[in-house]
Amino acid sequence: MANLKEIRNRITSVSSTMQITSAMKMVSAAKLKKAQDAITAMRPYAEKLTELLQNLSATLEGEVGGSYTTQREVKKVLVVAITSNRGLCGAFNTNVIKEVKSTTEKYKGAQVDVLAIGKKGNDILKKTHNVIDNQSAIFDALTFDNVATVASLITEKFTSGEYDRVELVYNQFKNAATQIVQAEQFLPLAPIAKGTAIAGDYIFEPSKEEIVMTLIPKSLKTQLYKAIRDSFASEHGARMTAMHKATDNATELRNQLKLTYNKARQAAITGEILEIVGGAEALNG
């Protein structure tokens, strides 16, 4: 009976775990809907802003972009690692950390520092990398203004010459079950090809140059905000998927334990019956 009691305790424990994972799945599903709507609504704006900047820059003569496009010998690199503040989301954070390490190896001979956005990434990467800052609090109030402050900080580190290149590493949201790890160059801006502008008779006020120099900082802030929004939606999608699998596994394990319990109980009852029958036959004999 001690064995039966142990199995009953395990069934109770697994059932409790199943209830927790099921609840977490439903919470993540609700949050995912909001986060997915936010990134879906933002993407057309971000893409149109980039298109406008490229189209306008392609019509200008000479060097465009000022200090934002300065190509320097890569001696110091800043990697912005965007992870989550919480776990239980499968390989979501692990994939970003692996990509950060891969990016670090790509810049052999250069000093690579990390700016962490997300507690999980900060906690793991600070053991192996030089983490210069942790902006995890941004997820407490994920707004464009808060992200713009971080984007300005990163941009200042590049334009001042403190870093020669800035890379973003994050999970891009595709759907609830699929997140694609991205490592993209944030600064310097990639050269824009000339002669690709869409023809049109426009009057620019102020000048094209002033418009471009105004759009570049705004485009960088939007790019970082989109990356964080992508990561935020991916996090909830990954957690919902992970909790769904955990619930299914817990259900399967509970069913197996119930089957084991019933078999053990049946064997115990059969044993008791045999003992009674054997005792009765001994008395009759």
The CA–CA distances, whole Å, from 197 to 43, 55, 211 equal 22, 5, 15
Name the nearest CA neighbour of 45 among 171, 229, 234: 229
Residue 135 main-chain phi, psi, to 5 deg: -105, 40
Q: Which amino acid is at 192?
A: I
The CA–CA distances, whole Å, from 27 to 121, 155, 243 equal 23, 36, 10
Helical (H) or strand (E) element with 115: strand 111-117
**Residue tagged active-site, from 32, 89, 100, 238:** 89
Distance in angstroms (rounded) separating the CA atoms of residues 165 and 185 = 8
Distance in angstroms (rounded) separating the CA atoms of residues 73 and 189 = 15
Distance in angstroms (rounded) separating the CA atoms of residues 25 and 93 = 18
3-state secondary structure of 88: coil
**134 catalytic per annotation:** no
Beta-sheet strands, E only, within the chain: 76-82, 111-117, 130-134, 165-175, 178-187
Whether 167 and 186 have beta carbons less than 8 Å apart is answered as yes
At residue 49's C-alpha, the angle toward residues 205 and 212, to 5°, is 40
Where in the sequence numbering do the catalytic residues fall?
Answer: 89
